[in-house]
Amino acid sequence: MEIRIQAIRFEPTEKLQDFIHKKVGKLDKFSDEIRKVEVSLKVVKPETAMNKEVSIRVSTSSELYAEKICDTFEEAIDNCMDALVKQLQKTKEKRQER
């Protein structure tokens, strides 16, 4: 599984990159079909709270996508991962029904 991290207008810390790799790596448990994961990080309106936007696109046989805005990148990544896990489980259930 290829993991691409794109930070828009800032350089992510090593700690944040490690956190992303650790969290995204857990998606392998839910599907063997994941080929690529693209993580996009952006700060919207730097002077306000709730300004860290994370979007994650997962390429499998279908496209899965989650986007969240939170106080911290870690919190937004956790929320995106929860949404993606639900999407992966639904996709798996639909395949088993066929």
Residue 57 to residues 4, 48, 66, Cα–Cα distance (Å): 10, 26, 7
Q: What is the pLDDT of residues 30-82, one digit of tens each?
A: 888 899 999 999 999 878 888 999 999 999 888 999 999 999 999 999 999 99
Residue 98 pLDDT > 80: no
Q: What is the pLDDT of residues 13-29, one digit of tens each?
A: 999 999 999 999 999 89
Residue 96: per-residue pLDDT: 83
Q: For residues 3 and 19, is the Cβ–Cβ distance under 8 A? A: no
Domains defined for the chain, CATH in brackets: 2-97 (3.30.160.100)
Residue 49: per-residue pLDDT: 84
Count CB neighbours of 56 within 10 A: 25
